[in-house]
Structure 1
């Protein structure tokens, strides 16, 4: 009986393994089908793009040639008209002279025939001939003095055009850049990409995104960096991302990368409304210290900063600095204080001094200036418990102006998420959080 039970167990395990194997094979067949579909669809799209592009080129080049022909024909007409006009004037003058000479010849013949009968006619003819200036002839231009039109056509044009056309356009089996990482951020997604064609010299990158329910891609970033945080992303909504690149010294963009799906489940970082001394933007990610005489810490709306994330503050504008100014993170809110330089908080002052649980550190960062970016990174070092309770040690890195301060922060109670906050004692400070 034990042997039978063993066989039943072995048979059951084999059936389960076969079921799992079948499921995995079907999954891979589905992946293979998607790969085949991508090749077929991208090939069809490429054929359509090539046909359309070259048809547009034919139409454009044909129109350009027609327009150039019309221009040259007009130049021929103009030169012909302007050159013929003085010849026409000269012809009229010569024809008038011939007519005058014909008339004079007729009168002369009559005068000669009547010489004996009417000598006065002969005298009148002679006087008339003297006034006509029969020795004065108009100038007729020689053939070398008048235009002889011709078309100057460069036969090398076709050779040059043939050389350019023979190299125009390329077909690539894959785009030169692909997205390699999509990482959720509070209210955003970090997109990182990399080159897959090492021979391609990239000058700029262009990142676009869209909701999967929308048909229109929007530009999110254009620049030389290889990663970007796309903000204002709705939580738990799928977005498509794609990236392309532009070669060094070229104007056209490369083909788009294969679109990748990403989403974030993290709520965006927002400042908490309700303080008279701070004005907030519509998305509540920007805070401006106004001229209210009130002094208080502006906290986040919720504890949205978690371990392993990077919390970033960008100071757009500054006011008069004060040693009590602070930007940082904390455990819980304490509305009765006017600075984060307190227990269970780490922060940096406007003069670059770092405070841990209200105590000033020896290491300092540069003073905050307009455009300064301040980052907070934390990771768990240890989690311990004893008779007095449990505590959590975090490795904190605060960065500003390409410098960092690293220290361990001991929390008496474990904390999954933290609030962030800021306090400024004079107007003019404007801070963006993301």
Structure 2
């Protein structure tokens, strides 16, 4: 008895020790997150303000050079006519001075040359126009340069700088939940800052081995299915938000790891009437005359999941068109409106085992999504309906849904999906 009690005590001790180690590891991770985010925030702030200072200095230098060039231009344009006037006046004064000296020489010379010099002086004096001088503007009419500098710029800049930038202890939005989807992950996020009013969200993703995040969603919703996810591979996600009426994005949330273990849904390749995308999750009804049902490659839809068809483009509708699930592939049919299948037609009619229901959904259009949800509600002896396996089926389209029980004679927890279109142009994505 006592050894057993000691063994239980040892297990309890080991469990407590392991729990303490987990708490210590979580505490260390939290401390490391705080230190790393603080270091990164310091680096971002220093880089941002250094860039601002450099840009502001460059802008001020450019403005100063522009104003100085404007001063130079006004100065040159204003002085040029005055320089020309100055030259004319100086030329007239120099000419008059030369003529004056020539007159003095004529008066003071000998008698023989006196008449000749006086005659020459008289001729020159008659031709010179001492009274023809350029008009000199008054001082009040010439430019007087000055600089007008508004000191309120410093006040405006000071007020803007003092309000520029904030430091938050945590981002305003955080990742909340990851839900596995076949070949995808449904990512949900939520607002954690009550004072923050979001206008748009921005979700980014990258493989854990990649170096750069890429945008996968920008919009107002708080969840998004990220497709083209490789199964059993870690992906990092982060989200941020833009406040109402603002242009800049908030800080990023703490990156978190998400993954899916569910293989992606694929259509079966090789059916003549349909062309497939490279990932085989998009089927296009081509203009081939061949007709038939395009099935999934494998029974990859499991009860408890949501199967979604999204109509990318539409063609001419037909009452035999169908989107749905079935127990098994059956060749030779041109529609899923048959036994062991449930489907919706493009006109909104719902069929169970080939019989049309009274309830009807809206007709599908370009951009419509049709979802199938199923859960097991009976596993046991035969019911009054004649089967011993019952699935509760919910089909939703354009914000309306129908719910019914699908009775089968065999246990089926994984199903095929399929589609059929009579006319070309229909393109459908499955996920």
Decide: shared fold, TM above 0.5.
yes
Q: Match for residue 86 of structure 1? A: 81
Of 382, 393, 398, the residue aligned with 2:395 is 398
Matched, 1:321 2:314: no
1:21-32 matches, cutoff 5 A? 21-32=16-27
1:111-260 matches, cutoff 5 A? 111-113=106-108, 118=114, 121-122=117-118, 124-260=120-256
Give the stretch that moved more between structures: 380-389 or 225-234: 380-389
1:335-414 matches, cutoff 5 A? 335-386=331-382, 391-414=388-411
Q: Is the CA contact (8 Å cut-off) linking 2:184 and 2:229 kept in structure 1? A: yes
Q: Is the CA contact (8 Å cut-off) linking 2:205 and 2:236 kept in structure 1? A: yes
- Cα deviation 1:374-409 (Å, max 9, x = unaligned): 111223333332499962322222222222222222
Per the alignment, in what secondary structure is the counterpart of residue 246 of structure 1? strand
Q: Match for residue 427 of structure 1? A: 424
Matched, 1:76 2:71: yes
Of 39, 43, 47, the residue aligned with 2:42 is 47
Residues 187 and 167 of structure 1: CA distance in aligned 2, closer, same or farther (over 3 Å): same
Q: Is the CA contact (8 Å cut-off) linking 2:92 and 2:130 kept in structure 1? A: no
Q: Aligned partners of 2:365, 2:167: CA distance in 1, in Å?
A: 49
- Cα deviation 1:28-74 (Å, max 9, x = unaligned): 11111111111111111111111111112222222222222222222
Q: Aligned partners of 1:382, 1:107: CA distance in 2, in Å?
A: 137
Q: Which runs of 5+ in 1 are unaligned?
A: none
Q: Aligned partners of 2:21, 2:55: CA distance in 1, in Å?
A: 50
Q: Aligned partners of 2:230, 2:296: CA distance in 1, in Å?
A: 18
Q: Is the CA contact (8 Å cut-off) linking 2:323 and 2:343 kept in structure 1? A: yes
CA offset at residue 166 of structure 1?
Answer: 1.1
Per the alignment, in what secondary structure is the counterpart of residue 233 of structure 1? coil
CA offset at residue 127 of structure 1?
Answer: 4.7
CA offset at residue 116 of structure 1?
Answer: 8.0
Q: Which runs of 5+ in 2 are unaligned?
A: none
Q: Match for residue 64 of structure 1? A: 59
CA offset at residue 325 of structure 1?
Answer: 0.9
Q: Aligned partners of 2:256, 2:130: CA distance in 1, in Å?
A: 98
CA offset at residue 94 of structure 1?
Answer: 0.6
Q: Aligned partners of 2:382, 2:294: CA distance in 1, in Å?
A: 35
Matched, 1:97 2:102: no
Per the alignment, in what secondary structure is the counterpart of residue 179 of structure 2? strand
What is the Cα-based RMSD across aligned positions, in Å? 2.0
- TM-score of the superposed pair, with normalisation by structure 1: 0.94
Q: Is the CA contact (8 Å cut-off) linking 1:115 and 1:122 kept in structure 2? A: no
Q: Aligned partners of 1:177, 1:378: CA distance in 2, in Å?
A: 33
